[in-house]
Amino acid sequence: MPRFAHSAEFAAPVQELFAWHERPGSLERLLPPWRPLRLVSRGGIRTGDTAAFELGSGPLRVPLLVSYRDFEAGRRFASEQVSGPFAHWRHERVFRGEGAAGSVLEERIDCALPGPAAWLPGGVLERALARDAAFRERRLHDDLARHARAGAPAQRIAITGATGLIGRALADFLTSGGHRVLRFVRRAARRADEIAWDPARGVLEPRSLEGLDAVVHLAGESIAGARWTAAQKRRIRDSRVQSTRLLADALARLARPPRVWLSASALGIYGDRADAPLDESSALGNDFLAGVCRDWEAAAAPAAAAGIRVVHPRIGIVLAAHGGALAPMLLQFRACAGGPVGSGAQYLSWISLDDAVGALHHLLFADAVQGPVNLAAPAPLSSREFAAVLGRVLRRPARLALPAAAVSLLLGEMGRALLLGSARLVPARLRDSGFRWLQPQLEGALRAELGLAK
Is the domain defined by 159-450 classed in CATH 3.30.1380.10? Answer: no
Angle between helices 353-365 and 442-450 (to 10 degrees): 110
Options 3.40.1710.10, 3.30.530.20, 3.60.20.10, 3.40.50.720; CATH for 3-149 is: 3.30.530.20
The backbone torsions φ and ψ at residue 219, rounded to the nearest 5 degrees and listed phi first, read -70, 145
51/91 Cα distance (integer angstroms): 13
Average pLDDT over residues 372-378: 98
The pLDDT confidence band at residue 2, using thresholds 50, 70 and 90, is low
Angle (CA) 229 233 234, round 5°: 115
The pLDDT confidence band at residue 120, using thresholds 50, 70 and 90, is low
454/451 Cα distance (integer angstroms): 10
pLDDT at site 1: 53
pLDDT at site 117: 65
56/38 Cα distance (integer angstroms): 8
Encode pLDDT of 159-210 as tens digits: 999 999 999 999 999 999 999 999 999 999 999 999 999 999 999 999 999 9
pLDDT at site 119: 63
Average pLDDT over residues 260-269: 98
pLDDT at site 123: 79
Is the confidence at residue 275, as pLDDT, over 80?
A: yes
Encode pLDDT of 69-98 as tens digits: 999 999 999 999 999 999 999 999 999 998
User: What is the C-alpha radius of gyration for the chain, rounded to an integer number of angstroms?
Assistant: 23
pLDDT at site 99: 83
The pLDDT confidence band at residue 347, using thresholds 50, 70 and 90, is very high
pLDDT at site 149: 95
pLDDT at site 121: 66
pLDDT at site 59: 80
The pLDDT confidence band at residue 60, using thresholds 50, 70 and 90, is confident
pLDDT at site 114: 85
% of the chain with per-residue pLDDT over 90? 92
pTM reported for the whole predicted model: 0.96
Computed over every residue of the chain, the mean pLDDT equals 95
Average pLDDT over residues 304-308: 97
- Domains of the chain, by residue range, sit at 3-149, 159-450
Higher pLDDT among residues 248 and 119, named by residue: 248
| Maximum C-alpha span of the chain | 67
